[in-house]
Structure 1
Amino acid sequence: MVKLRLKRHGRKQRVTYRIVAINAQSRREGEAIKEVGSYNPRKEQTQLDLPAINALLKEGAQPTGTVRDISKRVEVLEQVEINFQSKIKF
């Protein structure tokens, strides 16, 4: 299964994250299938590749909770007519 999740990047106390599509069995720093965005929690900046994210979600990729919350801010999940609440267990 492919998941959209955060991949840690940067140095100590200056962390940023990349939003990547990765196999669910891989470790956090493992090889990503595709990089689809970035998130900087210090400056609250988010950059997303919306067409790539929509394509991955339509193919069945599942976002993690944190990525889902980040994408809700820019209403990515509302653009894809898929009900993720029934697929994701809390």
Structure 2
Amino acid sequence: MLKIRFKRSGRKKQPFYKIVVMDVKTKRDGKALEELGFYNPITKTLNINCERTIMRLKNGVQPTEVVKNLLRKSSIF
């Protein structure tokens, strides 16, 4: 089963998250199938490829709760 979720990057105490499509069984920082955007919680910057995200959602990929909230804020979900 595929999910749209965060992949953490950045430095210690300065998180930066990539929004990616991954298998449920893959580790948090494992290999992603596709990168859809990024989110920086420090500066509240959100950048999402709307076209690809909508396509993935139509194909049945489920977002995690946190990603779902961000998609609602950006009026995609």
- Where on the TM-score scale, by shorter chain, does this alignment land: which range? over 0.9
Count of matched residue pairs: 77
**TM-score, scaled to structure 1:** 0.84
What are the equivalent positions in structure 2 for 1:51-70 lying under 5 Å apart? 51-70=51-70
Which structure would you say has the larger Rg?
Answer: 1
Q: Quick check: which one's strand share is greater? A: 2
Inter-partner Cα distance in structure 2 for 1:54 and 1:71: 10
**TM-score, scaled to structure 2:** 0.97
- Give 1:47's aligned residue: 47
What amino acid is the match of 1:76?
I
Unpaired runs of 5+ in structure 2?
A: none
- Give 1:20's aligned residue: 20
SS of equivalent residue, structure 2 residue 28 = coil
CA shift for structure 1 position 14: 1.3
- Give 2:71's aligned residue: 71
Deviation beyond 4 Å, 4+ runs, structure 1:
none
What amino acid is the match of 1:25?
K
SS of equivalent residue, structure 2 residue 54 = helix
Q: CA RMSD in A?
A: 0.5
